[in-house]
Amino acid sequence: MANLPRQDQLVSDRGPEPPRAVPAGQREAHHAEALEAARHRHRWQGPLYSLQRLLHRHAALGPLLVLVLSAGVFELLHPGFLRLENISLMLQQLAVLGSLAIGQTMIMLTAGIDLSVGALMILAQMIMGELAINSGVDPVLALVIGVAFGALMGLVNGALTARVRLPPFIVTLGTLGIFTAIGLRLSGGATLFFGGSALAGSAISSSSNALLWTGTFLSIGSFTVTTGVLLMVALYIVFAYVLAWTAWGRHVYAVGDDLNAARLAGIRVRSLIASVYVVAGAIYGLAAWVQIGRVGSVSPDISSTLNLDSITAVVIGGTSLFGGRGVMIGTLFGALIVQVFNTGLELVGVNALYLPLAEGILVISAVALDHWIRAIKD
């Protein structure tokens, strides 16, 4: 006698049972429960949730609030902190850091990081100074060569990151040491002076030196800035436009937000990342020009905190360490916050040893805030 199919086989042969219809009254009850649960969540996290969404949509709002608050606090602690003379001085001191932070911002928007920013700037200015002072090269040509060298070294960082696919942290940590060593070897550890100083060797006249143009003062009443400050502001305007309104800028955000999705969308990811490092390197060369004009000399002993300060300014300015989020105006606010803290703590008599402590706290707080903001999904 043939084997008869089992009951479970007969059921499976008929296919899956159709879903049972849910009575209309039960559907309405489930919908009402879901609405009540949503209202309950909103009631508990309403103000905080709204703030989180606001900061997520407007990356520069948080840094602006911190800047206004910190400036107000230091004005209370030291009356006269916000005088035009003091603001002028802070802007002049900010010009170099603010320029460096522009290049750092673009790199961090791609989820990268550049630890060699300060060393590359110093090396670029040493090349400009050596050519103009000791080799007799026309200052304009020396400037062009220095900026081009910065772009070339940016290409090295970009190629190792994008083509060889090494982590940007490791690549720029390595080039930090390389650029520092080359700069010290090139200068012999000595400072080069413009304008006929006894230490300048074959020094050239400062009155006709294009390398010192960024140190020219411009005054409107008691408010005084240098052309280096104006150059920094112009760079912010240009690259804010580039990032917001050009295809290249939108691709930068896309790569930082989701690398694989950007690749599937047809973006040439490797070439784009390399181009970002090249542009950043050129900006570091311009920052070297600003530095030369500010101090009137070329020295390998510039502040060793430029690398950390640039990262601090960018992170405090709302640019995410994970890429894809940030705006140039936020970076400018972040650089201003760093300068306000440095100047304010000095004016109120805080020991200079505590300045790195304040920056460290700012960085950790900014990263924690960024992590909280990124937790929300539009």
Residues 6+ apart with CB under 8 A from 355: 341, 342, 345, 346
Query: What are the boundaries of each domain within the chain?
Result: 61-374
**Other CB atoms within 10 Å distance of the CB of residue 189:** 11
Contact (CB, 8 A) for 116 and 176: yes
* pLDDT tens digits, one per residue of 132-169: 888 888 999 999 999 999 999 999 999 999 999 999 99
Spell out the CATH class of 61-374: mainly alpha
Contact (CB, 8 A) for 305 and 322: no
| Residues comprising the chain, all counted | 378
Task: Please give the Cα distance from 374 to 311 (Å, whole number).
Answer: 19
Task: Please give the Cα distance from 317 to 329 (Å, whole number).
Answer: 8
Pick from 95, 115, 116, 297: nearest CA to 190: 297
* pLDDT tens digits, one per residue of 207-217: 447 888 998 88
Please report the sign of the dihedral spanned by the C-alpha atoms of residue 360, residue 364, residue 365, residue 367. positive
Which residues, given as ranges, of the chain have pLDDT below 50? 1, 11-12, 44, 196-208, 378
User: What pLDDT is stored for residue 22 in this prediction?
Assistant: 52
Contact (CB, 8 A) for 92 and 225: yes
User: What pLDDT is stored for residue 101 in this prediction?
Assistant: 96
Look at the block and give the residue holding tokens 């990262």: 311
Contact (CB, 8 A) for 228 and 294: yes
**Other CB atoms within 10 Å distance of the CB of residue 146:** 28
pTM of the entire predicted model: 0.82
Task: Please give the Cα distance from 172 to 108 (Å, whole number).
Answer: 13
DSSP letter (8 states) at residue 201: S
Look at the block and give the residue holding tokens 């903001």: 373
As given in the structure block, the two tokens for residue 333 are 């606010």
